[in-house]
Each structure stands twice: as structure tokens, then as C-alpha cells.
Amino acid sequence: MNNLPTTMQALELQDYTGWRNGLNLVERPVPRPGPGQVLVKIAASPINPSDIVFLKGRYGVKKELPIVPGLEASGTVVAGGGGLMARFLQGRRVACAADNQGDGTWAEYMVTSAQNCMPLLNSVSAEQGATMLVNPLSAWGMIDLARRNRHRAVVNTAAAGALGQMLFRLGQHFGLTMVNVVRRPEQVELLRELGAKYVLSTHQPDFDTQLKTVCRDVNATLAFDAVAGEMTDSLLSAMPKRSRVLVYGSLSNAPSQVNAGQLIFKNQQVNGFWLNYWRPRFGLAGMLYAGRQIQKLLDTELKTKIQATLPLAEAGQGFQMYIANMTGGKVLLTPGRELTA
């Protein structure tokens, strides 16, 4: 650690008012890892919808301010604070996630638990590695739940988004029938070009009728709900008895609406999905195995489209670009150093 700089650039959140007013580029001391922790030199970190929610103080974890945001990144472990896993990771390229307490990934360096790091294969680029632990792992987790519970057909809402497209491709990979729901006419064509057979758009006046017909025809018994609001009840209404809706987002910015009769007389369920609760079920060995399987699919089913890479100083431009066109791909924030595979 003697060769490390003493200070670094970081984006600091000083107020839970979003990126426009609460986020500033500052100079901070380079942190030092404690027992079981590692210091990661960050290569790239994406802006995710969950990051935007975090900046407004609405995420599942709310940290004491001021704080460096950023949920995931890629980088190189340059120091460890002791422990078997920390020693194993020394010098390795990793995908990494921020701890639930402490600073995040939008900085030149980050300290995190060694167990929040996943070694990257040589074939995985820094860009794809940076986006691996939120969307690809979430897609893997949700499709894993579908397969473990023997669902054969799944409704996939917000299917044109980055995670929605991954869910579609991964579901197809494992032989699931995917019923894809989008919100705009142009997104229908996007999914068709990906090879989707079933694509429904909520802008159609007979959307609910179409959804019910398709769910009956393919016997869709599970839905991934990224929208909440009225969508939750629409899904329950369309699906058969003993179906289940898994809510993992709230793009509508409204509480999930549920008709009690669906739960009572159709014996249906509504549950939440958060990656932080799914990961511990598999333990460290299970997650390392899942990580290797996911990395083998990062150029195909689990590939993330990147629309821009920008230095930390241009984060404001990055937020504007990403929010204006989330379907266009991720925006990566970098400390300004060249990305290498």
C-alpha cells in the first residue's frame, strides 16, 4: 500500500435530492482496507436505475451522508486487509459491489468486503465486468427461481430495458416461454428483432385482453414485474390460478395494486425480489460458480449494451444521456484511465 496515492477523485452525495443538486466531484483520501476487506482500483462503474433511486434516498439501503454512491464496478484489487479471500484476490481483476455500509464505486478507489468481489475471466472486458453484478446476476437469479419452481412460461415486463432483454435471452437459453411486455410501439419491433414470439405493448387499448389470452395459451404462471402500480393487478388478472408475481422494480413510481380476490379465490401470490436477499442463499462457493457461468454468457445472452463511457467529471452529462435513453445502453463512469480487457 506504500505505492498508493494519498488522495483520489470521487463523486460525493451530500444530499438525497438526486444527481442534479446532491452530487459533486471532490478530492478524498484513498481509503484503507480492514480485515476481510480489499481496496479496488476502479476501472469503470455504470449508472443503473437502482443508483438513481439511491440518490433520491429511496433505495433499500440508505447510508449516512456524505457518501460516495455507485453500486457496482470493475477494477483491480491493489491491497487487502487480511483474510484468506482478500489474499486470494490480491492483484486480480474483479467485478465488485459496494458494501451496504460505506462508500461506493464512483471513485478512483473503493474499499469493500472481499466477498463482494468476483474474479473476472481474462476474456471479460472491463466494460462488461463493470455491469455484471446488478443486471446479469439479477437475470440469473430470477430465471433460477423460475426454473427451480418449474415454471414453463413467464411474463417479462419492461422487456425492452437492459435487464428485460437479458431476462428474455436467458429465459430462451433455458427453454422458457417468455411473454414480453413493453410500453412503446417502437419497442415491439426491438423485441421482434431479438427473436421474441410474444410481444405486447401497454399502449394498445386491448392490452389486458391480449395479455390474458396469451397467458392462457402458454400457461404463464410467473411474472417479473418491474413496473408495479396497476401492472401488478393486470398480471394477476391475466394469469391462471396459483400464479405468482415477482416485483423487482417500480417504474410507475406507484404502489403495487392488488385485488384481494385474486389472492383469495385464485390462490395467487405477490412477492418481492432483491438481489441482496437472493445472493446469500448460495454461499461463497455457489456465487463463485454462478459468476463463472454468467461470465461465459456476457458476450451473448447476458451482454450489456454500452452507449458511452465518461470520466467522473462528466457524470452530469452521463445522467442526462442515460435517463433520456435507457434502452440505448448503459453509461459507464470511469476515473479517466484507459479500459483494458
Q: Give the DSSP letter string of 189-210.
A: HHHHHTT-SEEEETTSTTHHHH
Average pLDDT over residues 301-326: 95
DSSP string, 86-136: HHHHTT-EEEEE--SSS--SSBSEEEEEGGGEEEPPTTS-HHHHHTSTTHH
pLDDT value of residue 288: 81
Query: Three-class SS of residue 183?
Result: coil
Q: How many CA atoms lie within 13 A of 324 on its CB side?
A: 8
- List pLDDT tens digits, range 250-271: 999 899 999 999 999 999 999 9
Q: Is pLDDT at 338 greater than 70 in this prediction?
A: no
How many angstroms separate the Cα of 73 from the Cα of each of 43, 165, 286?
A: 7, 21, 21
Residues in contact with 85: Cβ distance below 8 Å, sequence separation at least 6, in sequence order: 36, 114, 115, 117, 284
Share of the chain above pLDDT 90, in %: 88
The DSSP H or E segment spanning 258 is none
**How many Cβ atoms are within 10 Å of 118's Cβ, its own excluded?**
23
Map out the domains of the chain with their CATH numbers: 7-130+304-334 (3.90.180.10), 135-276 (3.40.50.720)
Average pLDDT over residues 63-83: 97
- List pLDDT tens digits, range 235-244: 999 999 999 9
DSSP 163: H
- List pLDDT tens digits, range 114-169: 999 999 999 999 999 999 999 999 999 999 999 999 999 999 999 999 999 999 99
Entry pTM: 0.87
- List pLDDT tens digits, range 317-332: 999 999 999 888 999 9
8 Å CB contact between 225 and 248: yes
Residues in contact with 40: Cβ distance below 8 Å, sequence separation at least 6, in sequence order: 73, 75, 76, 77, 78, 94, 96, 109, 110, 111, 112, 117
